[in-house]
Amino acid sequence: MIFNSLIPELAVSDIGRTKDFYMNVLSFRLEYERPEDKFIFLSLESNQLMFEQENGNWSTGDLEYPYGRGINFEMTVSDVEELYKRVLEAGIRPFRELKVSHYRNGDEDIVQKEFLIQDPDGYLLRFTD
């Protein structure tokens, strides 16, 4: 396995609930886990995330829902429409529905399909094509 140079590790309130959500709803793959540490490493295509049930070891302050306020994690996937369909079928209400967005980068117009959801702890996830 090749590790990305940046892999966010997110504190979560319930590692089992997180594992279920990311694997069964979003189709992430379990790369490895350390059950004794309540830790999992997941991937979806080239996206990699680590999760650890909050234990105080890495905390810089009190955690309260929604976790990760002020950040969203943008992840590129090969079929954003299929992922969006799975999210809706799971009964998850999008934070932002699937739409085409335009972002200016100098003289270039970047166009992408995207939607946003919150995970069980409130982390904001943006999936794009």
* Stretch 91-106: mean pLDDT: 95
pLDDT tens digits, 34-78: 999 999 999 999 999 999 998 777 777 788 899 989 899 999 999
Domain harbouring 77, CATH code: 3.10.180.10
- Residue 4 burial by CB count (10 A; 0-12/13-18/19+): exposed, middle or buried? exposed
Residue-by-residue DSSP string for 16-84: HHHHHIIIIIS--EEEEEEGGGTEEEEEETTEEEEEEE--SSS-SS---SSTTTT-EEEEE-S-HHHHH
In the prediction, which pLDDT does 127 show?
98
**102 with 111: CB under 8 angstroms?**
yes
**Nearest C-alpha neighbor of 39 from the set 10, 65, 60:** 10
Residue 43 lies in a domain: yes
Residue 76 lies in a domain: yes
Amino acid at site 96: R
In the prediction, which pLDDT does 3 show?
95
Measure Cα distances from 92 to 9, 49, 125 in Å. Answer: 23, 20, 13
**15 with 52: CB under 8 angstroms?**
yes
Instruction: Give yes or no for residue 118 having a pLDDT over 90.
Output: yes
Residue 56 lies in a domain: yes
pLDDT tens digits, 43-52: 999 999 999 9
What are the φ and ψ backbone dihedral angles of 22, each rounded to 5 degrees? Answer: -70, -35
Token pair 């934070």 in the structure block, residue: 95
In the prediction, which pLDDT does 63 show?
83
Residue 1 lies in a domain: no
Residue 15 lies in a domain: yes
Domains of the chain: total: 1
User: What is the domain extent for residue 96?
Assistant: 9-128
Least confident residue range of 20-24, 65-69, 88-92: 65-69
Residue 47 lies in a domain: yes
Residue 8: is the preceding peptide bond cis (ω within 30°)? no
Residue 65 lies in a domain: yes
Residue 3 lies in a domain: no
